[in-house]
């Protein structure tokens, strides 16, 4: 996960900032390193290395984690049913609990 310092460094980098903006504007898109590198205006190798250094995870791992964060937000707000959360194994891997358990804890909080 991005530390605050890394997040600001990533946003100060024009190419990485553009790629992050694309990911956040279109979280459901099937992102590839090539597509994100194009958005950043960098070669694939330069972009992948710079993204990993600044963001702390690969350009493929970050969009997945972002989607899971968005889904968690929707579960908290009861806008996403557990049935819609068919990604429960991935969710559990990121949050350490199943979506149903996450929702129960969020409701209790």
The residue ranges of every structural domain in the chain are 4-59, 66-108
- Say if residue 2's pLDDT is above 60: no
Cα separation of 88 and 68, whole Å? 10
Asked if residues 67 and 27 have their Cβ atoms less than 8 Å apart, the reply is yes
pLDDT of residue 82: 59
Rg of the chain in Å (alpha carbons): 15
Query: What are the tokens at 73?
Result: 């937000």
Cα separation of 61 and 32, whole Å? 11
Higher-scoring residue by pLDDT: 84, 43:
43
pLDDT of residue 54: 94
Cα separation of 37 and 39, whole Å? 5
CATH architecture under which domain 4-59 falls:
Orthogonal Bundle (1.10)
End-to-end CA distance of the chain: 23
pLDDT tens digits along 68-103: 888 788 777 776 665 665 566 677 777 788 777 887
Identify the weakest region by mean pLDDT among 12-16, 51-55, 76-80. 76-80
Angle between helices 99-108 and 61-76 (to 10 degrees): 50
- Say if residue 12's pLDDT is above 60: yes
């Amino acid at each position: 996960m991005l530390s605050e310092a890394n997040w600001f460094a990533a946003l100060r980098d024009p190419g990485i900032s553009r790629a992050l903006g694309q990911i956040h504007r279109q979280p459901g898109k099937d992102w590839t390193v090539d597509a994100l590198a194009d958005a950043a205006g960098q070669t694939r190798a330069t972009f992948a290395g710079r993204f990993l250094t600044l963001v702390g995870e690969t350009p493929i791992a970050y969009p997945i984690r972002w989607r899971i964060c968005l889904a968690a937000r929707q579960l908290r707000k009861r806008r996403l049913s557990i049935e819609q959360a068919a990604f429960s194994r991935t969710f559990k891997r990121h949050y350490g609990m199943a979506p149903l358990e996450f929702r129960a804890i969020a409701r209790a909080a």
